[in-house]
């Protein structure tokens, strides 16, 4: 064997060494995949499955089994494998919180109707179920709330019972029909707390919250119980009380078609439905009342 041949043999890498290096490389890739954040994995999958959707944020730690996906002004959910896409509302039955509504209000306080619900309605486009229609629904932009129609509502038939009064006793009176499981109602209450107004809150059970309303209404300190209920704090069941006033609220709401919450009534009977930010409410309350 020539010197050149001996050199070639010595310089040729061992098959064992090559196999070891390749094995370590594959293991490293697998280890990186195992230790990557779930948000990163979901983002990578969504790039393939919803390539036209610009993802703003992903949170896989808020809701068990689901990842919350923010795409501009829109909100939807997928499972951890990004196989199933969910467009709709998520409620926490333990804290009695509308998680979707709370998140939508964080994203856009002026938005009355969540873009997830708006995307749900987009299924009527005639191509539901196709990847294109799903992507279109997920990326559909939410439109600003339309101006409320002029409407008057007389509250004279309502009894004094059934109302939870809080805020500034000498401030302008605002009557609100609310539901303790409504995220928009909770947000509105937080806004009204910052305003110099007297709030007459009349609970109605749109989302099955009558049990909560009963406990709040029968509490020794109704105002404290009201804010605790919106905060998701547990309310101890106290002694029973006369809740016929709450029945009157329910009957009034049914007669006048109040099927959603919140409904805000000004002193002159003018009505707006849905959440409004503070600037809007201050302007509306300051308008000349007839």
Per-residue pLDDT at 248: 97
Q: Tokens for 262?
A: 């919140």
When pLDDT is cut at 50, 70 and 90, the band that residue 102 belongs to is: confident
The stretch 231-252 carries a mean pLDDT of: 92
The stretch 105-130 carries a mean pLDDT of: 45
Alpha helices in the chain (DSSP H): 3-11, 15-35, 38-49, 99-107, 115-121, 131-139, 183-193, 210-217, 222-230, 244-255, 278-286
Per-residue pLDDT at 2: 56
Whether 188 contacts 276, CB under 8 Å: yes
pLDDT digits 0-9 by tens, 157-187: 999 999 999 999 999 999 999 999 888 899 9
Strand ranges of the sheet holding 66-71, from the earlier edge strand across to the other edge: 57-63, 66-71, 74-78, 85-86
- Higher local confidence (pLDDT), 145 or 102: 102
Fold of the domain built from segment(s) 164-286? Glutaredoxin (3.40.30)
The stretch 81-97 carries a mean pLDDT of: 81
Tell me the C-alpha distance between 113 and 110, whole Å.
9
Q: Please name the residues in contact with 284: beta carbons below 8 A apart, sequence gap of 6 or more.
A: 266, 270, 272, 276
Per-residue pLDDT at 52: 85
What are the residue boundaries of the structural domains of the chain, listed by start? Answer: 39-139, 164-286
Per-residue pLDDT at 155: 95
Beta bridge partners of 172: 197
- Higher local confidence (pLDDT), 164 or 275: 164
Q: Please name the residues in contact with 211: beta carbons below 8 A apart, sequence gap of 6 or more.
A: none
State yes or no: pLDDT of 73 exceeds 80.
no
Per-residue pLDDT at 10: 47
Q: Please name the residues in contact with 213: beta carbons below 8 A apart, sequence gap of 6 or more.
A: 180, 203, 205, 243, 246
Per-residue pLDDT at 30: 45
pLDDT digits 0-9 by tens, 15-70: 544 444 344 444 444 433 454 799 999 999 999 999 888 899 999 998 999 999 99
The stretch 191-213 carries a mean pLDDT of: 93
Per-residue pLDDT at 138: 40
Where is 259: in which H helix or E strand?
A: none
Strands 66-71 and 74-78: antiparallel
């Amino acid at each position: 064997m020539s010197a050149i041949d001996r050199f070639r043999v010595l310089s040729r890498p061992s098959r064992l060494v090559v196999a070891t290096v390749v094995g370590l490389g594959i293991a490293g890739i697998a280890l990186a995949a195992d230790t990557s954040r779930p948000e990163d994995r979901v983002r990578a999958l969504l790039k393939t499955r919803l390539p036209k959707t610009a993802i703003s944020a992903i949170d896989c730690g808020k809701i068990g089994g689901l990842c919350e996906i923010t795409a501009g002004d829109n909100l939807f959910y997928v499972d951890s494998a990004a196989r199933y896409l969910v467009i709709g509302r998520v409620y926490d039955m333990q804290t009695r919180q509308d998680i979707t509504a709370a998140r939508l209000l964080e994203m856009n306080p002026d938005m009355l109707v969540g873009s997830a619900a708006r995307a749900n309605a987009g299924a009527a486009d005639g191509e539901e179920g196709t990847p294109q229609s799903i992507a279109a629904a997920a990326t559909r932009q939410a439109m600003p709330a339309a101006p409320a129609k002029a409407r008057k509502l007389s509250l004279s038939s309502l009894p004094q019972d059934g109302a939870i009064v809080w805020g500034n006793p000498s401030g302008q009176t605002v009557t609100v029909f609310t539901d303790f499981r409504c995220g928009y109602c909770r947000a509105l209450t937080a806004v009204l707390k910052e305003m110099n107004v007297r709030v007459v809150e009349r609970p109605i059970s749109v989302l099955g919250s009558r049990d909560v309303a009963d406990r709040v209404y029968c509490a020794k300190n109704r105002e404290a119980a009201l804010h605790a209920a919106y905060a998701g704090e547990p309310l101890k069941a106290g002694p029973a009380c006369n809740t016929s006033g709450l029945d009157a609220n329910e009957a009034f709401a049914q007669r006048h078609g109040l099927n959603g919450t919140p409904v805000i009534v000004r002193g002159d009977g003018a009505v707006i439905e849905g959440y409004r930010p503070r600037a809007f409410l201050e302007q509306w309350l300051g308008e000349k009342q007839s």
